[in-house]
């Protein structure tokens, strides 16, 4: 049930016309985390109520495979990354990450 709620929230945010692209620093952070050999170990079922301005979108610069990353900034020092597969609609949440 939680997964369906998360999918609904993610779909509603993905449909917003004003969803911001991430800054260059955030894009580097996401790509460093995703390409890390330990990224799969960070998978979580944790969910947060997302407020406007807490989410930005990073397209996959490595391939045009429909993958998009959503960076969730929770407070000043905690981040989560949602990996959205545009081909089958599957979403995986990873984190928490602490930016350096």
Average model confidence (pLDDT) across the chain: 77
Alpha helices per DSSP H over 15-100: 24-34
- Do the beta carbons of residue 57 and residue 69 sit within 8 Å? yes
- Do the beta carbons of residue 50 and residue 56 sit within 8 Å? no
> What separation, in Å, do the N-terminal and C-terminal C-alpha atoms of the chain show?
34
- The answer, yes or no, to whether residue 60 has pLDDT greater than 70, is no
Residue range 61-82: mean pLDDT, rounded: 80
Q: How confident is the model at residue 39 (pLDDT cuts 50, 70, 90)?
A: very high
The C-alpha R_g of the chain, in whole angstroms, comes to 13
Query: pTM of the prediction?
Result: 0.72
User: What is the rounded CA–CA span in Å between residue 96 and residue 100?
Assistant: 13
């Amino acid at each position: 049930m939680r997964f369906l709620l998360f999918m609904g929230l993610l779909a509603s945010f993905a449909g917003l016309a004003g969803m911001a692209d991430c800054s260059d620093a955030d894009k580097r952070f996401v790509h460093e985390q995703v390409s890390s050999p330990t990224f799969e170990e960070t998978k979580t079922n944790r969910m947060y109520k997302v407020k406007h301005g807490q989410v930005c979108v990073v397209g996959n610069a490595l391939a045009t495979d429909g993958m998009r990353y959503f960076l969730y900034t929770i407070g000043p020092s905690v981040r989560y990354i949602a990996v959205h597969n545009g081909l089958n609609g599957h979403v995986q949440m990873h984190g928490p990450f602490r930016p350096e």
